[in-house]
Amino acid sequence: MTRFQDKVALITGADRGIGRALAGRLGAEGCRLVLHSHDAESLHKAVAEEGWPHEQVLTAVHDVADSEAVEASVAEAIERFGRLDHLLNVAGVAHPGGVLTTSRQVWDATLSTNLTGYFVAARAVLPHMKRAGDGFIVNMSSIWGKRASAPGGGLAYSVSKWGVEGLTKGLAEEARPWGVRVSGIVLDKVDTLFAENMPVTLTAEQRARMMSTEDVADATLAILTSSPRAHVSTVELDAWQWGR
């Protein structure tokens, strides 16, 4: 039996990037997967390409901040698999722009996906984890949730990640008596589609010095397999080759 053979993981933003890397790694170890995305075509393509058997995967297509849709998907997962062990909050959007160049539409959409979506998913799964007396929630954050964004570099994204930092710490304290551990992974530069929204065009050499989605998956699985006596509150992953 593998480390995740009897586990069930809900992953948001599971059709691409970090979410898909996590799904691939966990699925390969026999974990049952509840995969959320707003892009039906991309999600179904990912499932087909990975070749997971039908009985291992449950998919849901919706806006990550749609409370009713998320709660319905979680209820369906519990009915089908009987449990939810891991929530991996990955879904996110990023747009360049400062206070004078960020529209209200972009502002609202960014906070809705990057912050409210994390809250909605956590609120949906925590009652089940509380009853089980066990579980993990891992929230993907960013260095821009710990420092001010560069001028014009993505104010809404940075603010959303500052919110994720607060949400992670608050959930960790609230869920501790229930036996549920809540961790955050603070990411530096990762080579995903987010790179296309950076305010400068990256060269192939620069992208090669970024972290890969597999690097993030390594850190996430390390958290999920950590000692029950330990709580990994925060992991910071630095793209240390970037400045070399």
The set of catalytic residues is 157
33, 11 Cβ separation under 8 angstroms: yes
134, 177 Cβ separation under 8 angstroms: no
Say how far apart CA 242 and CA 209 lie, in whole Å.
5
H or E element at residue 64: none
Q: Residue type at 192?
A: T
Whole-Å CA distances, 141 to 47, 110, 220: 25, 13, 12
The pair of structure tokens assigned to 154 is: 């993505």
199, 155 Cβ separation under 8 angstroms: no
